[in-house]
């Protein structure tokens, strides 16, 4: 069984995506990993100052994924389609 350990030095961010690109705050992760959970279809992009577009990676609604991530970067996210929901971003140890 694989266990995901949440980084205790980082507070998760839960945000509400819209039809315009938004950014998380900078994320510090010692492991180089982040966990993203969504309740709505979202396009995401990682960079120092990213802007998400409909051409970026799409996470389906009600999905959880772990990504390799450069510490100090941000996550940009853009809602795909109608409805409302959340995206939760957490650093993983």
Overall domain count for the chain: 1
Residue 1 lies in a domain: no
Residue 57 lies in a domain: yes
pTM for this structure? 0.90
Residue 8 lies in a domain: no
- Length of the chain in residues, anyone? 93
- Domain range enclosing 28: 13-92
Q: What is the pLDDT of residues 21-75, one digit of tens each?
A: 999 999 998 889 999 999 999 999 999 999 999 999 999 999 999 999 999 999 9
CATH number of the domain where residue 70 is located = 2.60.120
- 39 Cβ contact list (under 8 Å, min separation 6): 61, 62, 85, 86, 87
């Amino acid at each position: 069984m694989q266990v995901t350990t949440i980084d205790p030095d980082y507070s998760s961010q839960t945000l509400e995506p819209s039809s315009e690109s938004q950014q998380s705050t900078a994320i510090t992760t010692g492991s180089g990993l982040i966990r993203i959970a969504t309740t709505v279809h979202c396009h995401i992009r990682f960079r120092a100052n990213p802007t998400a577009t409909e051409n970026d990676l799409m996470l389906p609604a009600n999905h959880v994924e772990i990504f390799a991530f450069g510490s100090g970067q941000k996550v940009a996210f853009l809602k795909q389609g109608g409805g409302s929901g959340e995206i939760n971003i957490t650093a993983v140890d």
